[in-house]
Amino acid sequence: MNPLCYRDLVNSRGYRYRYYTTAPKETNRTNLTLLLVHGFPNTSRDWRLIVPFFEEKGYGVIVPDMLGYGGSDKPTDYNEYQYSLLSRDITDMLDAEGVQRAVAVGHDWGSAIVAHLCSFCPERFVAYAWLNVPFNPPSTNFTIDRLLAVSKQVVGYEAYGYWLFFAQDNAPQLIEENIESFICSVFPKDPKVVVTASAIPGAAEKSLRTGFRTELCDFMAGEEKRIWTDTFLKGGFAAPLCYYKIMVANGRKEDEASIPESRKFPPISSPLFFGAALRDAVCSAAMGKAAMTRDELKNHNVTIKDFDGDHWLLLHPETGKEVNRELDTWIQNVVKPTILKANL
């Protein structure tokens, strides 16, 4: 990703966003632009295996450091992370780049943001794709206890127990003071290690306090590890963890309640894609595929692809290539024909 392609935008909320962008090539007949939205703990840079592939294919890309991350502003009031506000931030970027409609692709928390673009600004997107984390409709009755119970029923353990620690006021400092243990608990080479090192209740904090170590994913080494570590220690974790604090506090209840029934699911005209990671120890492929085959989506054009990978599909070279191939196939065979048919 060319550093010269990064831009800064002070948006309508007064927040500064840093994002990577390139325009579509003229050879791309439909002039499609992909919006790529990262999750935790990531930045725009973690799409580095995806961006060059689609640039070479002629697509435009917009890849933000989401609010709280990287070169973007980092408010620590979790109310600043309402999905309606984050959706407005994204449309401000689309406006700044002159993009009327895009294909939205999300990973991890980015998937949740993309899901809410369906509700708050569906007129700005032609298709939606989710990696690891599926589309889930807005809900006013979310509780962390219910999420833990469902995950235990499906995968046999409370896979989202780490949310409880991440929502604590002492979590940012504890992570920053024990950054090597945090890296080991989040990016282990063996994805099953995540269960006892991070996922289940109490595990994440215990790993930090006891100096947990394990072999890391191949991508988290050398210069890449240094860049990641420097980026997050510079920006701190107080802002990124707001994405967890607001959920555990059910702080999005009013924001979710503002969404009319007619916008709780994606437009039926929009193709949908879900990439399920079969070795993701937290975001279960089974839970994801159940979400994407719910009754409310039975009349939608839904494509589901399995990937033999863990939570970091974007970062492993082998699964990154597969993601590129499957997304490109979906865009070529499903999204573009849908656009052309709508324009007849």
pLDDT digits (tens, 9 = 90+) for 82-96: 999 999 999 999 999
Go through the domains of the chain in sequence order and give each one's CATH number: 3-141+254-342 (3.40.50.1820), 144-248 (no CATH)
Mapping DSSP to helix (H, G, I), strand (E, B) and coil, where does residue 36 land?
strand
Q: Which amino acid is at 66?
A: M
Q: List the structure tokens of 334.
A: 């499903």
Provide the mean pLDDT of the chain: 97
Percent of the chain with pLDDT over 70: 99
* CA 61 to the chain's CA centroid: 16
**φ, ψ of residue 272 in degrees (nearest 5):** -125, 145
Q: Give the integer Cα–Cα distance in Å for 169 and 306.
A: 37
Q: Which amino acid is at 259?
A: I
pLDDT of residue 30: 67
Block residue for tokens 């007849």: 344
Cβ-contact 193, 214 below 8 angstroms? yes
pTM > 0.95: yes
**Greatest Cα pair distance in the chain:** 63
Cα separation of 268 and 8, whole Å? 34
Distance of CA 134 to the CA centre of its chain: 10
pLDDT band of residue 27 (cuts 50, 70, 90) is low
**How many C-beta atoms lie closer than 10 Å to residue 19's C-beta?**
25
> Where is average pLDDT lowest: 27-31, 137-141, 143-147, 314-318?
27-31
Tell me the pLDDT band of 53, cut-offs 50, 70 and 90: very high
Which pLDDT tens digit goes with each residue over 167-225? 999 999 999 999 999 999 999 999 999 999 999 999 999 999 999 999 999 999 999 99
Structural contact between residues 210 and 184, judged by C-beta atoms closer than 8 angstroms: no
Phi/psi at 307 (5° precision): -125, 135
| Per-residue pLDDT, 179 | 99
Among 74, 94, 87, residue whose Cα is nearest residue 121:
87
Place of tokens 């435009």: 60
d(CA 307, CA 305): 7
- 181: exposed, middle or buried (Cβ count in 10 Å: 0-12, 13-18, 19+): buried
Report d(CA 190, CA 224) in Å as an integer: 19
Coil, helix or strand at residue 270:
coil
Residue 260, CB-side half-sphere exposure with 13 Å CA sphere: 4
Please answer whether residues 113 and 66 qualify as being in contact, where contact means their C-beta atoms are separated by less than 8 angstroms.
Answer: yes
What pLDDT shows up at residue 28?
Answer: 61
- Specify the DSSP element, H or E, that contains 233: helix 222-235
